[in-house]
Amino acid sequence: MKFTDGFWLVRDGYSLRHATHVQRAEFDSTSGTIRALVAPRVVENRGATLNIGTLNVALDSPLEGVVRIRVSHHTGGTPSLRYAVNEYSPSVSLEESEGEVRLTTGAVTARLKTGKSWGLDFSAAGKVFAEQSAKSLTIADAPDRARYIAAQISLKVGENVYGLGERFTSFIKNGQSIDIWNADGGTSSEQAYKNIPFYLTNEGYGVFVNHTGKVSFEVASEAVERVQFSAEGEDLEYLVIYGPTPREILEKYTALTGRAPALPAWSFGLWLSTSFVTDYDEKTVSQFIDEMAQEKIPLSVFHFDCFWMREYQWCDFQWDPRTFPDPEGMIARLKSKGLRISLWINPYIGQASPLFAEAKGLGYLLKRPDGSVWQWDLWQAGNAIVDFTNPDAREWFKAKLRPLLEMGVDCFKTDFGERIPTDVTYFNGANPEQMHNLYSQIYNETVWEVLQETKGKDAIVFARSAAPGGQKMPVHWGGDNTSSFESMAESLRGGLSLALSGFGYWSHDIGGFEGTPNPAVFKRWIAFGLLSSHSRLHGNESVRVPWSIDAESVDVTRRFATLKEELLPYIMKVAVEEVNALGTPMMRPMLVEFPEDRTAWFLDQQYMFGPDLLVAPVFTESGDVEFYLPQGTWTNFFSKERVEGGRWLKERHGFDSLPLYIREDFKYLTL
């Protein structure tokens, strides 16, 4: 949300009250908290305390090296919804001296001025790494009578901002205006399926805004020297997380919000889908699987999309008897070939589904304020939405999934969850604006829980939407991309941004979802897709079996699917020792491994696959690719040639290759 009109003026109809004069600051030694009462103007006498609002500001620490700031204006209403944060009760030091109070947690000291000019800064190792100065904490009243709390943190010269979820726009977020609002916008727009109000910078810290509603970030876009974040309501909570390295920032952020488990080995293999709206039956599916085996392409999971259920009835969780008269037998036959089975589901109930009347009668669907069921005709005719804030509705939804799991299904693709309306009422009375993003979390939690109950450590979903903490329920994929090199590159940007938002695993539709890829795009994407944490062949109106593209695509798919099988011991070690134990993503931007290398902070067309492997996907038909090798000696994975880094390289690759280099001081690989 932008409140100003240029540097000098306020937008028409808005009024801004900035934190200015700390009236008093008090210590609560029991909880390790500083509480301050802040006036929006300098108060020279008692009379000046009349007819003004105040801001209540509290500082504490949930984890060593993390400072939490809680700001509130009017406290008589219901507090804003927040994401769950783990509390570690670290040792905190509270100190006071002339003109300031200080809170120290680990290496970090937060210093709040107590004079007549607002100032809050954060320092470590003798250096201020982040600060809030004049006009950086604000009550904003809008023309429509809505109220917002806004905060700003200054940016230093050359400071870059990263993260904020799976965003397909520029990797460095400076200059962007970003709303944290889950949307079904595809990968070619500024909208995102996975919005995470957390960013980190190359100055050694991250910021997590713990608010489930729409948080608007102005990243050097309204005030170009600052990051501003704001949310509607009377309160705002944000956490400043010191690293100083990206690894350490992510380690602390995921300690607070949760980490991905170490997933089963089979999940890292190749997934093949029927594709979204294609026609298929058991014969079609068996032909796909048998031909993959004949071509010696290792296959791990087969996924049934959409039309395993009857049209208009999504979701009724029943196999369409016209095309699948014997689902139990079919699943047994497929699993005898060593495959796992995945099914597509979503949280919506079409009016033609037998479950619509059942859920309506039980009160399990979102309602309009007048008490009627919320419905529309987008997606499925008379579509309604399950209200997962109702515990009974959650158990009802789980009960519909259990028979499928008992039948032999191994996992679910939890599609959708973004188009959640705000003109609704929830069972638990929650603010619908603050439930919009949180909905995807509760939806995925519901499915994750039933999978854990039945599959234990083999539990896995394949989810599109997410919110903070969603990384605990992997895997997530990048949504609706298109069949082009440009979309392949934007998909990678989204994955790297999600990695810097605390998510350990990520996948994408190999070859692009929309359209049919030309052979060059498909083959280049195969190499990229099978050197991602999770790998899925999936399209919309056309299938992605490699022989449907061209003969060479079969050879390329075999080569890279086999390569990923060979890398599985390495992948599993990374999953256990880094993703799960430390919160370090499997696919990581170069800056995570090489924070001391200035060039690494700008790279978004290559990545590290675990700590040892550098991958540079090829985004051209010709095979020409330019990439950067950081300082040190690297080994070409294919040729075993040793190459000195600290420089850019240009190479040309056939479809059966790409730049893949092993780091000299490798941790898990062996040459």
d(CA 500, CA 504) in angstroms, rounded, equals 9
Distance CA 663, CA 645 (A): 10
Amino acid in position 206: G
Report how far residue 64's alpha carbon sits from residue 513's, in angstroms, rounded to the nearest whole number. 43
Cβ count near 121 (within 10 Å) = 19
Please count the CA atoms within 13 angstroms of the CA of 540 that sit on its side-chain side: 12
Spatial separation of the C-alpha atoms in residues 10 and 5, rounded to whole Å = 5
Tell me how far apart the alpha carbons of residues 572 and 186 are, in angstroms, rounded to a whole number.
Answer: 31
Q: Is 291 assigned a catalytic role?
A: no
17 strand-pairing partners: 139
Q: How far is CA 547 from CA 69, 538, 551, 553, in A?
A: 56, 14, 6, 6
Residue 321: burial class (beta carbons within 10 Å; 0-12, 13-18, 19+): exposed
Which candidate in 222, 415, 593, 604 is catalytic?
415
Among the listed residues 166, 218, 222, 480, the single catalytic one is: 480
Q: 415 an active-site residue?
A: yes
Which residue has tokens 């230093």?
156
Q: What's the rounded Cα separation, in Å, for the pair 513 and 480?
A: 6
Q: CA-CA-CA-CA torsion for 469, 472, 473, 478, nearest 10 degrees? A: 70
Q: Which amino acid is at 640?
A: K
Task: Count the helix, strand and coil residues of the chain and give each as a percent rounded to the nearest 5.
Answer: 25, 30, 45
Q: Which of 166, 251, 387, 418 is catalytic?
A: 418
Q: What are the distances in angstroms from CA 596 to CA 123, 124, 244, 593, 612?
A: 20, 18, 11, 9, 17
480 is catalytic: yes
Instruction: Give the residue numbers annotated as catalytic, written as ranges.
Output: 415, 418, 480
